[in-house]
């Protein structure tokens, strides 16, 4: 389905409830398998979470997790630690071209039995679960935090726990801390000092019900809408915590540059554009929150603000090469943009071309990041249903706040 977004005016003052965080939900589902005493409230309804749930409950030997990168990483470690079970873990064509060797090598070092079914270093994988023979492992700290979290999640179920030594510079620390915080919440002893993480073994936990906070990455698209709208525009989003586990909650500070004020009220955030945006170049290191880079870049373009974004090296191996995809699609709209393997430089823009067809590359964040531009100009989002990967009700919620939409096919 392709979607025409007509130039729209924000319907100010709406209340939107956003599904639970995909990042928290997927971590908790793995922990729930290891410790069934855990109950989960406000679980994400994203495709990624649905795929993960299916894989965890399926009796089939072969499991297909589609585009769900988090599921691929977490399930690789989980199935490898399940003695006596064999699984073949597959995904989409893109997933079969996303590297996983760093995680597989770490699991091999622990004693795991994992084979590459087709191409060395990439899914699909044949995993024969066994008890690990070792309890210490080293892994580069500047890789996707999902590799590290995959190890952390299984660590308390291992006979001797796990000690992880992170080599070199560490990126995406908030996501590592999210995993550790969830472990702490269910009573597992975990310690993170400098470059070493130590997880103690735990045979059983007490009964816990954990409420999943709404997804901050999903909130980013409403921040962008408010930033691109007129002064005094406002939206309320539920359910969010001021003390969040999610690294993307830095949105609240970043979007002050665009005149957006965030007010926390109980379990909601109230977004209001109180001032015009700043004209100076926005300079950010997003190594701890790379998933909001696309949203920020599009916001800057829509407002005619230049930006230099760095710390984006993990975007090369997402659903698509997000840096090249951003460059291609923003250039269509009239942007002057350049990218490297880990950064993006966008110059001040003077115009936005209308009725441009935005390709989404099987990437949910490409569709959602560009959608707020409908406040400025009509655009067409190709393969619009890709948003269900993380935000199933995205288009319905955008329609609720006044974004006019028409299906093209």
DSSP per residue over 180-220, as a string?
A: HHHHHHTT--EEEETTEEEE---S----EEEEPPBPHHHHH
Whether residue 409 is predicted with pLDDT greater than 80 in this model: the reply is no
With beta carbons less than 8 A apart as the criterion, state whether 121 and 93 touch.
no
Q: Tell me: do 158 and 238 sit in the same domain.
A: no
Q: Tell me: do 269 and 158 sit in the same domain.
A: no
Whether residue 66 is predicted with pLDDT greater than 80 in this model: the reply is yes
With beta carbons less than 8 A apart as the criterion, state whether 140 and 167 touch.
yes
Q: Tell me: do 268 and 144 sit in the same domain.
A: no
CATH number of the domain to which 176 belongs:
3.65.10.10
CB-based burial, 43-54: b 16+ in 10 Å, e otherwise: bbbbbbbbbbbe
Q: Tell me: do 93 and 7 sit in the same domain.
A: no
Q: Tell me: do 356 and 300 sit in the same domain.
A: yes
Q: Tell me: do 293 and 164 sit in the same domain.
A: no
Q: For 26, which DSSP code? A: H
Sheet holding 136-140, edge to edge: 136-140, 162-167, 196-199, 190-193
Whether residue 319 is predicted with pLDDT greater than 80 in this model: the reply is no
Domain with 279 in it? 3-19+213-407
Q: Tell me: do 236 and 336 sit in the same domain.
A: yes
Given 211, 241, 262, the domain boundary residue is: 211
Domain count, the chain: 2
Is 291 part of the annotated catalytic residue set? yes
pTM given for the model: 0.84
Given 188, 211, 234, the domain boundary residue is: 211
Given 195, 211, 227, the domain boundary residue is: 211
Q: Tell me: do 284 and 391 sit in the same domain.
A: yes
Q: Tell me: do 176 and 249 sit in the same domain.
A: no
Mean pLDDT of all residues in 190-211: 88
3-class SS of residue 150: helix
C-alpha distance across the termini of the chain, in Å: 5
Find, among 272, 270, 322, 269, the residue nearest to 297 by Cα.
322
Q: What does the pLDDT read at residue 256? A: 96
Q: What does the pLDDT read at residue 316? A: 78
Question: What does the pLDDT look like over 146-179, one tens digit per residue?
Answer: 999 999 999 999 999 999 999 988 877 888 999 9
3-class SS of residue 298: helix
Find, among 390, 24, 21, the residue nearest to 181 by Cα.
24
Q: Tell me: do 194 and 297 sit in the same domain.
A: no
Place 142 in a pLDDT band, splitting at 50, 70 and 90: confident
Residues pairing with 338 in the sheet: 345
Q: Tell me: do 28 and 15 sit in the same domain.
A: no
With beta carbons less than 8 A apart as the criterion, state whether 229 and 259 touch.
no
> 47, 291, 363, 397: which is the annotated catalytic residue?
291
């Amino acid at each position: 389905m392709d979607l025409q977004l007509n130039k729209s005016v924000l319907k100010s003052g709406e209340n939107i409830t956003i599904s639970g965080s995909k990042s928290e939900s997927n971590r908790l589902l793995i922990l729930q398998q290891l410790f069934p005493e855990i109950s989960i409230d406000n679980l994400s309804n994203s495709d990624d979470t649905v795929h993960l749930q299916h894989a965890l409950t399926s009796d089939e030997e072969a499991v297909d997790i589609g585009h769900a990168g988090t599921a691929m990483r977490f399930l690789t470690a989980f199935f490898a630690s399940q003695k006596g079970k064999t699984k073949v873990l597959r995904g989409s064509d893109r997933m079969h071209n996303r590297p996983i060797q760093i995680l597989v090598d770490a699991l091999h070092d622990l004693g795991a039995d994992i084979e590459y079914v087709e191409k060395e270093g990439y899914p699909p994988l044949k995993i024969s679960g066994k008890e690990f023979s070792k309890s210490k492992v080293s892994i580069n700290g500047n890789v996707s935090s999902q590799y590290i979290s995959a190890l952390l999640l299984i660590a308390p179920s291992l006979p001797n726990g796990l000690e992880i030594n992170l080599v070199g510079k560490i990126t995406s620390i908030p996501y590592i801390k999210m995993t550790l915080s969830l472990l702490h919440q269910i009573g597992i002893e975990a310690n993170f000092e400098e470059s070493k993480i130590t997880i103690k073994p735990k045979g059983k936990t007490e009964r816990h019900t954990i409420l999943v906070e709404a997804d901050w990455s999903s909130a980013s698209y409403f921040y962008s809408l408010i930033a691109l709208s007129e002064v005094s525009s406002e939206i309320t989003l539920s359910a969010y915590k001021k003390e969040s586990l999610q690294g993307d909650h830095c949105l609240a500070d970043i979007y002050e540059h665009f005149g957006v004020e965030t007010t926390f009220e109980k379990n909601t955030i109230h977004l209001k554009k109180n001032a015009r945006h700043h004209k100076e170049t926005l300079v950010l290191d997003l190594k701890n929150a790379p998933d909001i880079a696309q949203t920020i870049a599009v916001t800057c373009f829509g407002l005619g603000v230049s930006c230099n974004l760095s710390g984006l090296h993990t975007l090369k191996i997402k659903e698509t090469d997000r840096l090249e995809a951003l460059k291609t699609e923003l250039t269509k709209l009239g942007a002057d943009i350049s990218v490297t393997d880990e950064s993006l430089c966008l110059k001040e823009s003077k115009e936005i071309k209308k009725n441009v067809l935005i390709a989404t590359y099987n990437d949910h964040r490409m569709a959602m990041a560009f959608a707020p531009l409908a406040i400025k100009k009509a655009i067409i989002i190709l393969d619009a249903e890709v948003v269900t990967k993380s935000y199933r009700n995205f288009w319905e919620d955008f329609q609720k706040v006044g974004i006019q939409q028409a299906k093209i096919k």
